[in-house]
Structure 1
Amino acid sequence: MFNPVFARNIVSFLKIVSKLKHTLRTGWVDCKVKQPETIAGHMYRMAIISMLTKNQPNICTERCIKMSIIHDLSEAIAGDITPHAGVSKEEKFKLENDAIENMRKTLLNGVSDTTEEGKQFTQTVNEMLDLWHEYEEGTSPEAVMIKDIDKFDMVLQALEYETDQNLELPTFYESTKGGFKTDMVKALMNEVYEQKDKLTEERK
């Protein structure tokens, strides 16, 4: 029988997470994009991209998939804080870290770590949420890959909005130019740049 305390906490946690399904990405809203993607939509495609990292050197695909759907989890509480929000990196980290710890407390509320099932559940929760910290540190091979995928998905989305809505969104290209570290994502970006150049030529 599944522990009812765990079930209660998971449902409470999922109610928080569900906000990501409806929270629009701030960058697109600021650029007046019509029907912009949600945070959850962004993370979903990142997870799909992560599935394609198999056979990349020193990369655990499973960890990449997990990290891709955890890396923006804090935004369910802290919101999508962009570089243009006037919030320092230190304050942004504090707000997002507090959000993650709030989620940890929600999941572990009333859970006893003196029982075997309590220890196992606590370990599961910690392993999940600690992926956020690993991403923020950005030093593991998987974190480096996911940071690349995060930026790539954003630029690809910019290209799609430019194509579909006849927009010009140069800042998304400029802010990421030269910032990619993995061979896989560099190759993906080369394809995006080629398509962007083609679009620019077609509009002349």
Structure 2
Amino acid sequence: MVINKNDLGPFFDAVIGLKYVRRAGWGAKVGIKDSESVADHSYAMCAVGMLLSDTLGIDTCKVLKMIVLHDLAESVVGDYMPGEVSPSQKQTEESEAMKKILACLPSRISSDYSKIWQEYVQGKTKEAIFVHRVDKLEMALQAARYEKEGYSKELLAQFFSSAHKAVDSENDILTDILKSLR
């Protein structure tokens, strides 16, 4: 297969673009001016997800692809906070963005990535459920870091609460890690 590197531009632009999209909740809800980017969040999720999927015997390769893709559309649409737009509007915007981002890739790869992203969005498979949980666990890990840096424990409590709702669904290492943070 021959791939023209110039044809991959939209994918590379989206990946690099995540470095410039700030995670909205930290600034709006806690007042953190130089908060993590979506790329920072995705990288941390990759490291956490890799270790924990290996530990739990979950398909790590699929998990890592899913994590890399899970927020890629935010490079186009931005990072919406819950309630900022309707879930259907968010889904429509992100789906359109992903179609554009993946359209430049060879069809087999584009199809594979699209299926993995859709699997994440639907949240029904073992890997997708796991990635959603890792997403919230990473958020709590970041909140704990911000708390150590002196940000308001009271303002950060909402992030821990959200994480507990998503992660405490199973009695496993993710739940143990989350419980150890506070």
Aligned to 1:186: 175
Of 139, 160, 172, 2:124 maps to 139
Aligned to 2:96: 98
CA displacement 1:39-89 (0-9 Å, x = unmatched):
0000001100121121415x201111111111001101111011141x111
Supply the distance in 2 between the matched residues of 1:38 and 1:93 (Cα, whole angstroms): 21
CA displacement 1:120-164 (0-9 Å, x = unmatched):
x31112112321111010011110110000000001111110111
Aligned to 1:73: 72
Supply the distance in 2 between the matched residues of 1:96 and 1:172 (Cα, whole angstroms): 23
2:15·2:75 contact (CA, 8 Å) conserved in 1?
yes
Partner AA of 2:108 in structure 1:
Q
Classify 1:171/1:97 alpha carbon distance in 2 versus 1 (closer, same or farther; 3 Å).
same
Classify 1:187/1:13 alpha carbon distance in 2 versus 1 (closer, same or farther; 3 Å).
same
Aligned to 1:26: 24
Supply the distance in 2 between the matched residues of 1:184 and 1:67 (Cα, whole angstroms): 20
Aligned to 2:86: 88
Of 174, 179, 190, 2:161 maps to 174
Partner AA of 1:79 in structure 2:
G
Query: TM-score, normalized by length of structure 1?
Result: 0.80
- Between 1:27-36 and 1:173-182, the stretch displaced more is 173-182
2:72·2:98 contact (CA, 8 Å) conserved in 1?
yes
Q: Which has the higher helix share?
A: 2
2:136·2:163 contact (CA, 8 Å) conserved in 1?
yes
Supply the distance in 2 between the matched residues of 1:154 and 1:3 (Cα, whole angstroms): 36
Partner AA of 2:88 in structure 1:
E
Question: What is the deviation of 1:17?
Answer: 2.3
Question: What is the deviation of 1:191?
Answer: 1.4
Supply the distance in 2 between the matched residues of 1:12 and 1:178 (Cα, whole angstroms): 36
Runs of 4+ in 1 over 6 A off after TM superposition: none
Supply the distance in 2 between the matched residues of 1:103 and 1:166 (Cα, whole angstroms): 36
Query: TM-score, normalized by length of structure 2?
Result: 0.89
Query: Aligned pair 1:2/2:2, yes or no?
Result: yes
Supply the distance in 1 between the matched residues of 2:151 and 2:65 (Cα, whole angstroms): 34
Supply the distance in 2 between the matched residues of 1:68 and 1:54 (Cα, whole angstroms): 14
Supply the distance in 2 between the matched residues of 1:21 and 1:13 (Cα, whole angstroms): 14
